[in-house]
Amino acid sequence: MFKDRRDAGKKLGLALAGYKDKNVIVLAIPRGGVEVGYEVAKTLNADFSLIVCRKLGFPYNPEACFGAVAEDGSYVILENMGITKDEIEKIKNEQIQEVKRRVEVLRGKPFPDIASKTVILVDDGLAMGVTMQAAIKMCRNKKAKKIIVAAPVSGIDVAEKIEGLADKLVVLEKPIFFQAVAQAYENWHDVTDEEVLKIMQKKR
């Protein structure tokens, strides 16, 4: 479907062309969403920054998650996950530390003022959608006027869930058999801090 994140971002930007020169701000979720978001912001001639969120992984299987936390402390916990309150707090606190590190290293400045603004939240795809839910919560807390969620790919159920939380959802592909975001990309790799910093320097 997409050659890489850059290709996905360009296509997503075209799908959002109605917001070009409309004084919107594009907020990408690092690390995977940053190149996608950068290309969207470039296409729309929009301000660009990062909104840092982290998945909350199970102690016995960190790849599987039961929720997510955003940099302002907003969090989402999926129901009936069979995990104790103490374990939730411990994992949440660990991830808040990583969130703080990413804010400092990757963005290096305070979160932009989004009060009364239209925000476009971008990630490279919506798998379970929990980090995006945490990002939406944070933007609501920060009094954004309108929240648009944009992603190249999503599962159908997750898209429906996010659509109910955001003001608008733009997703380019919703495969019937959707297992992972990586399946939508020809070239896929885990993005590093260094790659994010290079993109942020380009934007500056």
* Domains of the chain with bracketed CATH: 5-52+114-203 (3.40.50.2020), 55-105 (3.30.1310)
pLDDT band at 83 (very low <50, low <70, confident <90, very high): confident
What are residue 1's DSSP bridge partners? none
23-58 pLDDT tens trace:
999 999 999 999 999 999 999 999 999 999 999 999
Which has the closest alpha carbon to 54: 160, 131, 148? 131
Axis-axis angle for helices 193-203, 33-44 (nearest 10): 10
Which H helix or E strand runs over 101?
helix 85-102
In this structure, is the dihedral angle defined by the CA atoms of residues 96, 32, 188 and 76, taken in order, positive or negative?
Answer: positive
- Residue in the structure block whose two tokens are 């660990």: 94
- Residue 140, SS3? helix
Length of the chain: 204
Question: pLDDT-based confidence at 86, cuts 50/70/90?
Answer: very high
Share of the chain above pLDDT 70, in %: 99
d(CA 176, CA 8): 19
User: CB count, 10 Å around CB of 98?
Assistant: 12
